[in-house]
Amino acid sequence: MYARWVKRLLDVLAASALGLITLPLLLTLMLLVRFCLGSPILFSQERPGLNDRVFTMRKLRSMTNQVDAGGVLLPDIDRLTRFGSWLRRSSMDELPEIWNVIRGDMSFVGPRPLLVSYLERYDAAQRLRHNVRPGLTGLAQVSGRNTLPWSDRFELDVWYTRNISFMLDLSILWRTFAVVLLRRGIADDGSATMKEFRPGT
């Protein structure tokens, strides 16, 4: 009953309240992004959600659009500014995703939504992570975040889908605050984002 009905109700109530509370902060950050990085303010990308349904996830933009002499975007680590790095470390870039929670695309807790291109790379077990709504935070995020091997992340994601409970969600949310405050596991060493998933990794 919790996973099917109560969890979604709590998501809507909490996201609506949090959205109102954090609106002044979000507007301030949007102005800072515009000043420091220019337009667009938001980074938008399609991600697969519940039952593989694709939705548009939005974050505050944290990287520039710098390109090399050939017009190709520079590596992420070269486009991440000091301000953008702070946004990522503090997880403030995730604030627009509250709207995804209200819309029903995401939940507060669940497997993090990954790239659409990964769908064809999953095996049958890994695909089970899409049996629930993706989350702003999840069990993998509080167990090592982006420093975990892909196999471990997927194992934790699937375990979560099979063991959802109110107390588990509450525990993950509590642990998330500690992870954000300590700023652990935000990216792999030497990169601005987590490494690409490939089968067998």
Mention every residue, 6+ apart, whose C-beta is less than 8 A from residue 159.
Answer: 139
Instruction: Give the integer Cα–Cα distance in Å for 170 and 167.
Output: 5
Flag whether pLDDT at 192 surpasses 70: no
Instruction: Give the integer Cα–Cα distance in Å for 145 and 178.
Output: 12
pLDDT in tens, 50-62: 999 999 999 999 8
Q: Name the more confident of 197 and 78.
A: 197
Give the residue-averaged pLDDT of 128-145: 92
Flag whether pLDDT at 190 surpasses 50: no
Instruction: Give the integer Cα–Cα distance in Å for 93 and 43.
Output: 9
pTM: 0.86
Task: Provide, rounded to the nearest whole percent, the portion of the chain with pLDDT above 90.
Answer: 64
Band of pLDDT at residue 148, cut at 50, 70 and 90? confident
What is residue 85's predicted lDDT score, i.e. its pLDDT?
Answer: 87
Flag whether pLDDT at 38 surpasses 50: yes
Band of pLDDT at residue 184, cut at 50, 70 and 90? low
Give the residue-averaged pLDDT of 98-117: 96
What is residue 188's predicted lDDT score, i.e. its pLDDT?
Answer: 46
Flag whether pLDDT at 164 surpasses 70: yes
Cβ proximity of 180 and 23 under 8 Å: no
Flag whether pLDDT at 106 surpasses 90: yes
Where does 38-81 have alpha helices with state H?
76-79
Flag whether pLDDT at 172 surpasses 90: yes
What is residue 130's predicted lDDT score, i.e. its pLDDT?
Answer: 97
